[in-house]
Chain A
């Protein structure tokens, strides 16, 4: 079945550092890929998405490229801010009724 594996956290960075959170997936067919962000005490919000191979999703300075050859969708940001501290979830939507399969989440803490 479909599965998503994220790098283990937590990740702690200083402000303005470069961020990478790794995500790899297993799925049949041609899934869509998503990154969601969850701020403390809130629900998950869609951060970015890519619906086909080689697509790049981007939003709020975050980027991720759909790499079918490596089955990956790594999240990157060139310069993180304290306000980026949150939990980040990688997810895929395969062929099964649009169900989203989530990774385990990565906690990011950014210090001033």
Chain B
């Protein structure tokens, strides 16, 4: 299996532009998580999907952030408009299923490093 695949690896954009980050989870995994990592705040869970349905989006910082999972093999995280304080590494992770996460943990992608100038 190729693991969790994220694209792009690096993104540099100007303030005010729309940014879309993409994630392909491991085939057969039913749970998908988006995290943000910064030096100041560490790892923050943004949103969690189970069977393509958003279950917990309480970590989404504000309305500028949105996430979708149109099917089991694809998810996007969109920021519109982007701001310099959104600069961070964004990780996607997947897990076999809601109950198995407890024993399995997550498999993380390599992340997207976003820089907003």
9-residue interface stretch from B43-51, B61-69, B73-81: B43-51
Q: How many B residues, CB 8 Å from partner?
A: 26
Mask, A44-55, CB within 8 Å of B = 1, is 111001010000
Q: Is B101 an interface residue (CB 8 A)?
A: yes
- Expressed in whole angstroms, the Cα–Cα distance for A104 and B42 within the complex equals 6
Q: How many A residues, CB 8 Å from partner?
A: 23
Establish whether residues B43 and A43, one from each chain, have CB atoms under 8 Å apart when the complex forms: no
Establish whether residues B42 and A100, one from each chain, have CB atoms under 8 Å apart when the complex forms: no
Q: Is A112 an interface residue (CB 8 A)?
A: no
Q: A97-B50, A105-B42 are in contact. Are A46 and B103 (CB under 8 A)?
A: no
Q: Is A98 an interface residue (CB 8 A)?
A: yes
Q: A43-B108, A44-B108, A105-B43 are in contact. Are A98 and B91 (CB under 8 A)?
A: no
Of chain B, the residue at the smallest CB distance from A100 is B106
Establish whether residues B105 and A34, one from each chain, have CB atoms under 8 Å apart when the complex forms: yes
Q: Which A86-112 residues sit within 8 Å CB-CB of chain B?
A: 89, 91, 93-95, 97-100, 102, 104-105
Interface residues of B (CB under 8 A from A): 4, 31, 33, 42-43, 45, 48, 50, 55-56, 91, 93, 95, 98-103, 105-111
Mask, A25-65, CB within 8 Å of B = 1, is 00000011010100000111110010100000000000000
Establish whether residues B48 and A97, one from each chain, have CB atoms under 8 Å apart when the complex forms: yes
Establish whether residues B102 and A93, one from each chain, have CB atoms under 8 Å apart when the complex forms: yes
Establish whether residues B107 and A46, one from each chain, have CB atoms under 8 Å apart when the complex forms: yes
Establish whether residues A97 and B98, one from each chain, have CB atoms under 8 Å apart when the complex forms: yes
Establish whether residues A97 and B55, one from each chain, have CB atoms under 8 Å apart when the complex forms: yes
7 tightest Cβ-Cβ pairs between the two chains A and B: A98-B101, A43-B108, A93-B102, A44-B108, A43-B110, A102-B43, A104-B42
Of chain A, the residue at the smallest CB distance from B102 is A93
Establish whether residues B102 and A51, one from each chain, have CB atoms under 8 Å apart when the complex forms: yes
Closest chain-B Cβ to A44's Cβ sits at a distance in Å of 5
Residues of A close to B50: CB separation below 8 A: 97
Residues of B close to A45: CB separation below 8 A: 108
Of chain B, the residue at the smallest CB distance from A92 is B102
- Expressed in whole angstroms, the Cα–Cα distance for A34 and B42 within the complex equals 17
